[in-house]
Structures are given as structure tokens and as C-alpha cells.
Amino acid sequence: MSKNTEKLFRELLDYMDDLGDIPESAEDRHQFLEQFFQNYSDGLPSDYGTCELDAYDYMEQAYAADSPEEAIKFAKKALKADKNFLDAQVLIAELSAETPDDLTKAYRRLLKKEETKLRQEGYFDDGIGRFWGLVETRPYMRLRYAYFSHLIKTGKLRLAASQGEDMLRLCENDNLGVRFTLMYLYALLEEESPAVRLFKRYDGNQSTPMLLAMIILYYKLDDSVSARKYLRRLRSVNTEADEFFLQIDSEEIQDLLMDAEDPAPYRLNSKEEIAVSLSENRALLLSCISALFWISEEIYKLSQKK
């Protein structure tokens, strides 16, 4: 959901609160939504597009800015329009921090402040498990994810894993995809029990990233039997795994893990998904790159038996 869509959704929630009871029948709900969008459209000023911008508009400009200085300028305008606009506070902190430790302190300060606010509003009483589904909690969850990623970049892996675990407590549907990075964290930390629990909790459909992490975990634990078991599952689920690992050489694997470009769209259980999964977790995988060479060698051996 884009920030503009999030803004519209907030207005829909306010409209629902003003209305009271929500229609039960599908036809009445359809009419309800039609009326909301008609009112929303009618409420736009005739000079819409040139009228005064709000906090969301300024943040869109901040994210699209050509320089950190320009981004901070627009983020400050967003804060002037809404003094509690968390996304603006986070962006300013990220662009202003001179050292990783400065950013760590800024993240913690903002987390404490926002958590206090959400507790006062009752979200930690009634919303546990549904964060992100509640639009008011989304800026907080984005901040938690940024802090989670920062901890990984600064090498605080156990602390990062604890953060990931708590994010899944708050948002059981895991709309931000925390579980995939958390699985790689468990693999790197060689923590089998929580990895198995997480795999069973979320991976009924046996996804490529989760299976890759399980293979790496058991490789690091020197349990080749279990590693091969999950490799067989990966090859069954992702029929392009052989093609990916047989065609890529050691230099290409290292290049892949150093590639910081945003991933292009990909199909689930494809060779592109393998590449994206490895690239997105490159900060973790660079320390155990031999596991990827092992996967490649094992697939080569299996292909020779055909």
C-alpha cells in the first residue's frame, strides 16, 4: 500500500467512525463505498494539485528528492504540517546521523516515543497480532523494520533476531516479510530450534527463501543429511534451482551478494527468486558463502546421477 493509499484509507476509517454501524449486506456495503468515494471526490478543492500540500504530500517529495539536504527540507515541512508525523522524523534521523551509533540512538528514541503514544491509545492492549492491519500502527512497524535492518548492518545479530521475533508477535501475518530475514539470522547464528519453529509456523507451502535458509543452517551445523533433505525439497519446489546453481560460478555468487540494486519483479519459486533472496540477505550470507558453493556442488553431483 502506497503512502497516498494509506492516507485515503485513514480517511475511510474516519468516515466509518462517523457513520457508526457498517452495512451488513454486500449491496449495501457497495453503496456505502460508492458514497464515500463520491464524498471524497466532491470534497477535493477545485484547484486540487496546486493547493496547499499536507504532510503526506511533502513526504512524497522528500522520498523523491535528489539530495539528502532537499529530502530533509521536505521532511521538515511534513513535520510542520503534522508535528507527530513519524515517517518524517525517521527520515530526518537517517539522513542526519553522522555515525551508525548516532542512528541506533535515534531509532531507539523514536521507538520509545511512538510506543508510548500507541500504548496510550490502546493498540498494545487490543491490537497485538494485528499491527500493520491497523493503519495507525504502520509508521511504527516501518520504524521497527528500519531498526531491525540497521541492527543487522551493524553486526548486532542476536539483538536483531529478538527484534524480528517481537515484530512477528505484533504482526502475525508478517506483511513486511520479517520471517525470511529472521530465518537467515537463525541460520547464521546456528540456532536450530527457533529456525525449525519458524519454518513450521510459516512455511506450509515450502517457499524458496525459507528452504534456502534451512539448507544453510544445517550446512553450518555440519549436518549434511538434513541439509540434503532440505535441498531435495528446494529442488522439488523450485524447478529452476538446478539451472541457477549449475550456471553460476563462485565469482558470480560473490557479485550477486554485493549487488545492492533494487530487485526486479520475479515469479515465486523461480531462479530469479533465488537471486533476490540471496541478494537481499547478502550482509548475512557473505560470512558463510561456502554454503552456497556446497549447494552448487551437491546439485552438480545429483545432476550427474541422472
Q: If pLDDT is split at 50, 70 and 90, which confidence band does 211 have?
A: very high
Higher pLDDT, 39 or 283: 283
The answer as to whether 47 is a domain residue is no
From first CA to last CA, the distance across the chain in angstroms is 46
**Contacts of 59 by beta carbon, 8 Å cutoff, 6+ apart:** 3, 74, 75, 78, 85, 87, 88, 91
Q: Is residue 22 part of a domain?
A: no
pLDDT band at 283 (very low <50, low <70, confident <90, very high): confident
Q: Which residue has the higher pLDDT, 203 or 225?
A: 225
pLDDT tens figures, 132-149: 999 999 999 999 999 999
**What's the grid cell of residue 231?**
535441498
pLDDT number for residue 210: 94
Is 264 inside any structural domain? yes
pLDDT confidence band for 29 (50 / 70 / 90): low
Domain annotation covers residue 300:
yes
Band (pLDDT 50/70/90 cuts) for residue 246 is confident
- Confidence grade of residue 1 (pLDDT, cut at 50, 70, 90): very low
Mean pLDDT of 168-179: 95
Between CA 183 and CA 174 the distance in angstroms is: 13
- Provide the residue range defining the domain that includes 263: 185-306
Local confidence band at 278 (pLDDT 50, 70, 90 cut-offs): confident
The pLDDT value recorded for residue 120 is: 96
Instruction: Record the cell numbers describing residue 77, joined without a space.
Output: 515541512
The stretch 11-26 carries a mean pLDDT of 56
Residue 22 pLDDT grade (very low, low, confident, very high; cuts 50, 70, 90): low
Per-residue model confidence (pLDDT) at position 280: 87
Per the CB < 8 A criterion, the answer to whether 72 and 95 are in contact is yes
- pLDDT of 237 strictly over 60: yes
pLDDT at 101: 97
Domain assignment present for 215: yes
CB-based contacts of 43: which residues, under 8 Å, 6+ apart?
none
Dump pLDDT digits (tens) for 63-105: 999 999 999 999 999 999 999 999 999 999 999 999 999 999 9
pTM, 2 dp: 0.81
Where helices occur in the chain by DSSP H, the ranges are 3-19, 26-43, 55-63, 68-81, 86-96, 100-120, 123-126, 138-153, 157-170, 178-189, 192-202, 208-220, 224-237, 241-247, 250-258, 271-280, 282-285, 290-304
Look at residue 188 and tell me whether its pLDDT is greater than 60: yes
Q: Residue for cell digits 561456502?
A: 290
Find the farthest-apart pair of alpha carbons in the chain and give their distance in angstroms, rounded: 71
Binning pLDDT at 50, 70 and 90, where does residue 252 land?
A: low
Mean pLDDT, rounded, of the chain? 85
Percent of the chain with pLDDT over 90: 62
Which of the pair, 85 or 278, is modelled with greater confidence?
85
| Structural domains of the chain, count | 1
For residue 149, what pLDDT is reported?
96
Q: Is residue 286 part of a domain?
A: yes
User: What pLDDT, on a 0 to 100 scale, did the predictor assign at position 8?
Assistant: 57
Domain-embedded: residue 271:
yes
Q: Examine residue 27 and state whether it is found in any structural domain, yes or no.
A: no
What Rg, from alpha-carbon coordinates, does the chain have? Answer: 23
State residue 49's pLDDT score: 47
